[in-house]
Amino acid sequence: MKVESFKFLLYFAFTIVISLALLNTLVFYELKRFVELSIYEQAYVHYIAYTLSGGVYKGNENFSVSENYAGNNFSYVFKDPTNPNKYIYVSVKHNYAKSMIEGFFKSLLIMEFVVVFIFLLAFQFIIDKILGKLKDQEEWTKSLVASVAHKFGNFLSIQKVNLAILKTKLKDEKILSRLERSLSKVEKDMNLILHLLREEKQMEREWIRVDKLILEMLEEFGEDLQGKKVIFRPVETYVYADETDMKDVLYNIISNAVRYSKSIIHIKTLMRKGSVCLIFRNDMGNTQDHGLGVGTKLVEKVVKRQGGTMHIRIKKFYTVVIKMKR
């Protein structure tokens, strides 16, 4: 959370600095124009003073008036009213204009520094408050989900015990096997949420054979796949990831394809330079219901946690594309 707060502060400071830099550039050119006009008006006043004094007035510490051109300083040239063939030069000391601009900008930069510093402190205080509330809400949500998942896990454990007792008393294994598969599927659906709660846990990455996992998943859905065509040509494919996360991802995507497909499921693995691409396509029995929903965000979060990306395209087919590093 502190890292996020620092990032917000850094972005805010960067935005202010860039904005002030642009503003100061505009101010500089406008001030330069104003100073040049002001110096010209002062030079003209010295020229008038020189002509009215009959050449006695010679200027002050910043301006010097003479009929001779001073090559080292910048000069304004005016015609001598007593002799049209002569010129009067009002020279401006080199550092005079520079000192006017520098003095102004020093004051401006000091004020900007104070203002930016105050704004950053206020911004930091507000961001800390907001992020603190978000952190509290996040912790509360995680605790709530963990509590519900724990209670649901206890419920599943009890049902498994009841199922084991039923197996000893009933002979209809078909019904019991079906019930057992249903409980297993519910448990795996919940695993996606449970495993997301271990975000702070160190990932145990290893080389995982993805095509083998996909085949295992398809075997689990054997009964649900009756009447549907599955196209999958296994090619030995490996990814470097956490096995638990990969099982959650594959199970949820294949489960979604099985549940919402009309008649076709197409799975393909592609090995590219430095990456593996997993493509899951299925037609849609109900065009209004594409599956996944909130599950999309959960699965995508797990994929990102493993350094991969996930994209979904919905046209004639519902297509999920996952790219993972090799």
CATH code of the domain containing 270: 3.30.565.10
Joined tokens for residue 199: 């975000």
Of 123, 147, 180, at which residue does a domain stop?
A: 123
pTM metric for this prediction: 0.52
Within-domain flag for 205: yes
**Beta carbons of 104 and 31 less than 8 angstroms apart:** yes
Q: Are residues 119 and 200 located together in one domain of the fold? A: no
pLDDT at 51 over 80: yes
> Which has the minimum average pLDDT: 107-121, 178-192, 273-287, 300-314?
178-192
pLDDT at 176 over 60: yes
> Higher model confidence: residue 36 or residue 5?
36
Distance CA 93, CA 43 (A): 11
Mean pLDDT for the chain? 80
Residue-number span of the structural domain to which 52 is assigned: 2-123
pLDDT at 292 over 50: no
Q: Give the model's pLDDT for residue 156.
A: 67
Overall number of domains in the chain: 2
Q: Give the model's pLDDT for residue 45.
A: 92
Q: Give the three-state DSSP class for 314.
A: strand
Distance CA 4, CA 128 (A): 10
Bridge partners for 211 per DSSP: none
Of 105, 123, 141, at which residue does a domain stop?
A: 123
pLDDT interval class at 211 (50, 70, 90): very high
Q: Are residues 99 and 218 located together in one domain of the fold? A: no
> Higher model confidence: residue 292 or residue 191?
191
Within-domain flag for 142: no
Rounded to an integer, the average pLDDT of 241-265 is 88
The interaxial angle of helices 210-220 and 243-260, nearest 10 deg, is 40
Within-domain flag for 39: yes
Distance CA 86, CA 84 (A): 6
pLDDT at 229 over 60: yes
Q: Is the sign of the CA dihedral 160, 161, 166, 168 positive or negative?
A: positive
Q: Are residues 320 and 206 located together in one domain of the fold? A: yes
> Higher model confidence: residue 318 or residue 102?
318
Distance CA 320, CA 103 (A): 63
Q: Give the model's pLDDT for residue 193.
A: 64
Within-domain flag for 317: yes
Within-domain flag for 212: yes
Q: Are residues 221 and 108 located together in one domain of the fold? A: no
pLDDT at 95 over 50: yes
pLDDT in tens, 261-279: 889 999 999 988 888 999 9
pLDDT at 54 over 80: yes
| Helix (H), strand (E) counts: the chain | 6, 10
Rounded to an integer, the average pLDDT of 228-238 is 91
Cβ neighbours of residue 255 closer than 8 Å, sequence gap 6 or more = 185, 188, 189, 221
Of 88, 105, 123, at which residue does a domain stop?
A: 123
Within-domain flag for 143: no
